[in-house]
Structures are given as C-alpha cells and as structure tokens.
Structure 1
Amino acid sequence: MADHCHSHGCGHGHSHGGGGADGGGHGHSHGPSDASDAENIKGQEFNLYLRIDMDSLTCLNEEEDGSGRTVFRAYEDRLDRTKFVSSDVDEELLFNIPFSGTVKLKGLLIIGGEMETHPNKMRLFKNRPNMSFEDAGAAPDQEIDVHVDQEGFIEYKPIVARFNDVSHLSIHFPSNHGNSEKTEIYYIGLKGEFSEAHRHEVTITAYESRANPADHKTNALNQMNQMIS
C-alpha cells in the first residue's frame, strides 16, 4: 500500500500574487487581505460541487468504495490530504458526474498525488451517462494535458462552446506522470454557470392523469344506446 503522507513541496513556481512592479509608484500595498479576498473569490467560482447529484456520482476503478465522491468539495478544503481517491487494479480512473440541472462549464482544477501518481491527462465527455472504460475509448469532446499541481493553482479551460449545456460530465484519467499503476486525486474543482432543470414531464403527467368529463359523458351515452337497442 502506498504511503499517503505526502509533502506539499510543490516546486512548479507559479506566482499568483499579482503584486509585481508596475512602475506607477502609487504605493498600493497587497497584504494578507488581498490573498483572503482572492481565496473567497475562487471559492465562490469553484462551487459547482454543490450542484452535483452526489448519490448518483460514480468513480470506476476506485480502490475504496465511495472515495471518488470525496474529491468534489469546497475550494477552501482543497488541501485536505485525508480525502482522496486512489485507483485500484491499474492507473485509470473514470468519473461519471451528474448535475441537478444544466451547467456551462468554464474551468477545472486538479490536485493529484506526488509526481509518480499524479494524472498527466484528462479526457472530458459531455452528456454520456454511465460511461464504462470501454465507452471511454471513444473520442472525447476535449482532451487536456494535466500538470503536477498539489495546491490547485493551475486552472484548465474547457472549450466553453462545447460544454455550454452539460447535464452530465464524465472525466477519464487514463494515465499518470510516473507510468505507475497507481493514480491518486485529492481534489477536482469545477467552475461554471448553473441553470435549474426544467421539469416539463411533471406538468404533462399531471395533465394526463386529470379526468376528462367529456369522456365520461360519451361512455354514458354509449351505454344508454346499447341498453335501448
């Protein structure tokens, strides 16, 4: 069993402070409050986990049942290393993610394990519920290279025109950076716009179940005619 007590030494050197020299000399200070504000904004953006039908979400090839669901959580909890999914018999993982309405998907964050277990690619499929690994052999709607990221700094941009009416998203992770048989994912963040589902079928069912007086009247006349004849 792999040791899951990973360090957080992420050496990819991304700078997100936004406080570079601007030559303007206006003397604005960018302190901890700015970092906190940025964190809050990110948290509000990456909140589509609240719109996932968690009871119906599945993760294929997860080592521990139900662990795939734990990676979809609040942005501020993204660094919680106690919640993760690890692949079982090989390096592949496949998430089937149903939403409670429709989504315009605008961004993804992926936090994986160390270099050797961190996914190196994700393949996105739109509106193909209950996909299997065999189904995932089809051409995806988009394929994206995934970099080693243990802090959630790197945002991946889907082609919005292709993912503007998503009721179900499947994410296939076919491989990892270490060519190992173990892939680990700690957090998946989803950003986008959400619309409630339209439940036309409820209206139609209620209408059809309503008694039609005209039908009863016709049946009564038919019965009378039969009796007379």
Structure 2
Amino acid sequence: MSHNCEEEHHHGGHGGHGHGHDDHSHVAPIPTNESQSLRQYIDTSKITGLNLSNPNNELHQVFKDQEQKYDVSKYIESDADAQLILNIPFTGYVKIFSIILRTSGDSSNCPKQIKIFKNKDNLDFDNANDSKPTYKIEQPLIGHHDNDTNTSNNDEFIEHYLPRNSFQSTTQLSLFIENNWDDDEDELTKVYYIEIRGQFTSPLSKDPIITLYESAANPADHKNLLANEVGNHASFQ
C-alpha cells in the first residue's frame, strides 16, 4: 500500500505523511482505488514539458499501467537544473481526487515543492513562479534508489490527496517542480511514475459546426443556380 499525503494531514494507514499545505483541517480524506485511475483519459499525444531531457513523445511513459508500475527503466528527468514543468491534457472534463508519485529516493534527485495548476495554458517558468497555483504539495524524501534491486516496494508510491472542490471540470493539469530535497539547482529531478485518480465527467465539447441554410426556400434562387450550372441553356417559365 502506498503512503498517503494530503491536505487533511491524515495519519492513518502506513503512517501517511501530512505536509504543510493550504488546508490545515484534520479530516481524513476519502480513499481512492485503482479503478479511479484517469490514465485512459489522458491525451498522451499532447503531453508536453519544459526543461526535460526526454522528448515530448516519451513523456507518456511515466503514466504506467498497473502491470508496468514497478518498471524503473522508464522515467522522466529534468535537463539543465532541478526544475521542470509537465502539462497533462485530458480528452474530456474530469474531477481529480489524488496524484500518486514515485520519484527518486535520493535527496539530490527527489522533488520537494510541487505546484499544481488547473487548466493553465502556456505555463512557463516565469508565470509559474509568479502565478498562484491551484494547490501545492510536498513530496517526501521517499522513492527509488538507483542501486536498489528491489523495484516492487509499494511504500515508494506516494499518494497526494487534492481538495476535490478545486479540481472539478479539469481539462489540463500542470505540475511545476520547484526544487529538490538538497535545494541544489544543479542536480536533476527524476520521476518514475505518475498516476492521477478521479472521475471522468464528460467529453470535451467539439468545435461548433456552422451550418448555412435557408429559412425558407426561394424557387427563383434555385432556378438561377441551375441555370448557371447548365450554362444558361435551360428555359424557365
């Protein structure tokens, strides 16, 4: 069972971690389950990132299914420094309940402060620093170590419960990793697994189709169109 991290500071289960978030109530969160995974509703072809060593067409690899969740051979890693931005679009409107992360367990590579933005287009490092996030989480210093041969440790998967009322009608989720546990900008951030749990509510509305029509048919107009098509050789009464 994974550890639990949430805004309600829940202390049940495996001694779940509570961190300093926006909501300091002490109400236990509503548990989630695997059937609430939104993986099938992520528009994987449109996932993008900033300051990532991986090309965009590899970013979907961290959204592993349950059969591949322990695979540590595929991961995303930041490029020039510890910060990274990941934009995750959905194919419809979703309610988000929680985010499960498996990161590096090394302090130099484990993310710490993560800002989460809902439906924030064109997010970059300038406006990510200046804009108020929808929510903030702190990833604990728990995760996979490169020299660890045991890759099936469930305690390395950390579930962060989000305030459900803040993440309704979500079409895109953006994660901004600000720093790592060493607070060393020169180190790189590593993430092995991301799972988003919630509820699909409706597909995205399609672009409106503009239909041209006549409110009342005018026979004369149709005659004129037909006359033009046949080179005005038709004779009309």
Q: Quickly say closer, same or farther: Cα 1:195–1:15, change in 2 above 3 A.
A: closer
Structure 2 counterpart of 1:50, one-letter code: Q
Taking structure 1 as reference, are residues 218 and 177 closer, same or farther at Cα in structure 2, changes over 3 Å only? farther
The DSSP-based 3-state class of the residue aligned with 1:125 is: strand
1 CA distance for matches of 2:220 and 2:50?
56
Q: Which residue of 1 aligns with 2:26?
A: none
Q: Does 1:48 align with 2:38?
A: yes
Please tell me the residue identity of whatever aligns with 2:112. Answer: N
Post-superposition offset of 1:220: 6.9
Distance 1:91 1:115 in 2: 13
2:77 counterpart residue number: 86
- 8 Å CA contact 1:96–1:130 kept in 2: the answer is no
CA distance in 1, matches of 2:46, 2:97: 23
The residue number in structure 1 matching 2:216 is 214
* 2:171 aligned partner: 167
Report the secondary structure of 1:50's partner residue.
helix
The size of the alignment, in residue pairs, is 183
Q: Which residue of 2 aligns with 1:59?
A: 49
Q: Over residues 11-57 of structure 1, what are the superposed CA-to-partner deviations in whole Å (9 max), with x where a residue is unaligned?
A: xxx965xxxxxxxxxxxxxxxxxxxxxxxx84323x21211111111
Shift of 1:64: 2.3
Q: Which runs of 5+ in 1 are unaligned?
A: 1-13, 17-40, 223-229
Structure 2 CA distance for partners of 1:140 and 1:198, relative to 1, 3 Å? closer
The match for 2:194 is 188
**Residue identity opposite 2:70 in structure 1:** L
Partner SS for 2:98: strand
Measured in 2, the distance between the counterparts of 1:218 and 1:195 equals 49
Q: Which amino acid aligns with 2:158?
A: I
Q: Superposition RMSD on alpha carbons, in Å?
A: 2.8
Query: Percent of aligned pairs with the same residue?
Result: 27
Cα separation, 1, equivalents of 2:220 and 2:172: 47
- Cα distance in 1 for residues equivalent to 2:88 and 2:158: 21
SS at match of 2:199: strand
Paired with 2:69 and 2:182, the residues of 1 have a C-alpha distance of 23
| Code of the aligned partner of 1:58 | T
Conserved 8 A contact 1:104-1:194: yes
| Cα deviation digits, residues 157-206 of structure 1 (max 9, x gap) | 1111110110111111111112232100001110000123253544x43x
Change (3 A) 1:68 1:219: same
- 2:86 maps to 1:95: yes
Deviations, residues 97-132 of structure 1 (Å, cap 9, x unaligned): 110001100011111113220111211101112311
Is residue 121 of structure 1 aligned with residue 113 of structure 2? yes
Q: TM-score, normalised by structure 1?
A: 0.70
* 1:155 corresponds to 2:148: no
Separation of aligned partners in 2, 1:15 and 1:159: 19
Among 138, 147, 162, the alignment partner of 1:145 is 138
1:131-142 equivalences in 2 (<5 Å) = 131-137=123-129, 138-142=131-135
What TM-score, normalized to structure 2?
Answer: 0.68
Q: CA deviation at 1:214?
A: 2.5
